[in-house]
Amino acid sequence: MYRFNLVFLILSTKTLALCLNYTQNLRPNIVMVMSDAFDGRLTFHPGSQVVKLPYTEYLRKQGAVFLNAYTNSPICCPSRAAMWSGQFVHRTQSWNNFKCLDNNYTTWMEILQKNGYYTKRLGKLDYTSGSHSISNRVEAWTRDVPFLLRQEGRPMIDLIGNASTVKVMAKDWKITESAARWIRHSAASLSKPFALYLGLNLPHPYRTESLGPNAGGSTFRTSPYWLRKVSRELIAVPKWLPLNQMHPVDYYSTFTKNCSSNFTQEEVKDIRTFYYAMCAEADAMLGEVVSALSDSGLLSSTLLMFTSDHGELAMEHRQFYKMSMFEGSSHVPLLITGPGTKAELQVEQPVSLVDIYPTVLELIGVPVPANLSGHSLMPLLHQTPASSAKYRPDWVLSEYHGCNANASTYMLRTGKWKYITYADGSGAPLQLFDLSTDKEELYNVAVHFPALCQRLDRLLRSIVDYPTISQAVHHYNKKQFSDWKSSLGDRYSSVIANLRWHVDWQQNPKYFEAAIDEWLSGSR
């Protein structure tokens, strides 16, 4: 039995006392399983028909599925920083995969520990500063430089093993099995409630080893065993805008992700098929956790939540990876089941990962700080609309400041509308999508609704002073790059020429170095 996505098991003394007449001595266990790059639209109809995800489906039937759950930043580290801190990324200055939370930052897991929980974290955490490759950092710092360089390998597929090959992502399986053993052998005997976090790397694409040590993750790898879980005939080839009609930031992303050349329909369908098969493997890892809880008699006393740090475009909008506000990248899974939750509940209210922190605190009866960016999900889980309307907004915010996008990006999702603006709001065209009629997000209708865009922009500015934040990121990028360049001395030209963009860079290194020097010397 296996599992793939992010799962979070949460029970609250306050909620249990309200709903199940539990006492303070019967606090729930909390288990969170978080995957990487899982498209949230696969957790409900019609996406759930494309690939068999039995354990995700189990959570949906037993508890609640959030139909409009979003990441607060569509890239690994900043997204996880928001989830662990309960704060929007501009508040913690989690600008990219290198700059996130301090090592001593108090997460909700520390709050649980201080309140009598035994806590355990396994697998991918990825929310503190200082990690990730030099190439990833430099690409983020130099995104304002006016050149186009391919930063990734062309997306590709890799079929390994045979019809009996189950464990493709060996590292994730090892960590998952460790979590399952701990549940079976240790958790049941604890004298206090426990909180377990399991972080997976799947279905994030694999590094393309043939491209060398600086390679990005452009390989979609699976086995025939997992391909059998996918209904290839139901996989649609997404529509693309012509390159000359793309938004300039989207075009930059497409080019730097090495997706601007030709792809056949079969190539695109293969990539999407392999991605869905990787999701099935991740779902099986979730199953290992569910089975371990069930075998240990803990399933009924544990709240289970399933989510991910971001999605995966899988060739939608002529891109793979994330770093975009399109649905494939920003829409994440969020399913919660456990004591006090209603079976087969579908929640349409937009929510985001910063909501997890206050939810956990309310669950254990700890006062929720007023300065958190998120709001507890408990009113939505227990269908108290009056309370929900009083305490939570009808919008969610996502922002992006990292590589593969040449401007800070801000997305406001409210009702049927998705509003996106860039940098200080005056450079790149803003975007407005009506998700009720344009699920593929191909028709930017901003010019048709100027009054609505003005209203949404005022709302966005009341949440985040985005021109000021964009300028702060710009100055941070310059300072970081300048310090890095100085630290290399005479090695600078050699090092920068051999990062992930080396194929393009080495065609004209003097031109690209000059472009960077001009950017560094600019007054802005």
**Is residue 334 predicted with pLDDT exceeding 80?**
yes
Give how far Cα 431 sits from Cα of 240, 245, 317, Å: 16, 13, 14
pLDDT range class, residue 10, cuts 50, 70, 90: very low
Q: What is the pLDDT of residues 406-429, one digit of tens each?
A: 999 999 999 999 999 999 999 899
Going along the chain from its start, the domains and CATH numbers come out as: 29-379 (3.40.720.10)
The pLDDT of residue 26 is 76
Q: Which residue has the higher pLDDT, 387 or 328?
A: 328
Q: What is the pTM of this model?
A: 0.94
Q: Is 76 a catalytic residue?
A: yes
Q: Which two tokens stand for residue 24?
A: 């303070």
Mean pLDDT score, 21-34: 74
Cα of 281 vs its chain's centroid, Å = 18
Mean pLDDT score, 238-258: 98
Contact 150, 255 (CB under 8 A): yes
pLDDT range class, residue 524, cuts 50, 70, 90: low
Classify each residue of 461-489 as buried b or exposed e, where b means 16 or more C-beta atoms within 10 Å of its C-beta: eebbebeebbebbbebbbebbeebbeeee
**Is residue 12 predicted with pLDDT exceeding 60?**
no
For 236, other C-beta atoms within 10 Å of its C-beta total 11
pLDDT range class, residue 213, cuts 50, 70, 90: confident
Dihedral of the CA atoms 306, 308, 314, 319 (nearest 10)? 160
DSSP code per residue over 275-332: HHHHHHHHHHHHHHHHHHHHHTT-GGGEEEEEEES----TTGGG--SS-S-SHHHHB-
Q: Are strands 69-70 and 351-352 parallel, antiparallel or unpaired?
A: parallel
* 84-90-93 Cα angle (round to 5): 75
Round to whole Å and give the CA distance between 400 and 424. Answer: 13
pLDDT range class, residue 27, cuts 50, 70, 90: confident
**Is residue 6 predicted with pLDDT exceeding 80?**
no
Burial class (CB in 10 A: 0-12, 13-18, 19+), 144: middle
The percentage of the chain sitting over the pLDDT mark of 90, rounded to a whole number, equals: 88
The pLDDT of residue 384 is 65
Mean pLDDT score, 53-73: 97
Mean pLDDT score, 236-255: 97
Phi, psi of 335, deg, nearest 5: -130, 140
Mean pLDDT score, 296-310: 97
**Is residue 386 predicted with pLDDT exceeding 70?**
no
Mean pLDDT score, 229-257: 97
Catalytic site residue from 76, 100, 403, 453: 76
Q: Is 153 helix (H, G, I), strand (E, B) or coil?
A: coil
**Is residue 237 predicted with pLDDT exceeding 80?**
yes
Q: Which residue has the higher pLDDT, 19 or 330?
A: 330
Mean pLDDT score, 208-236: 93
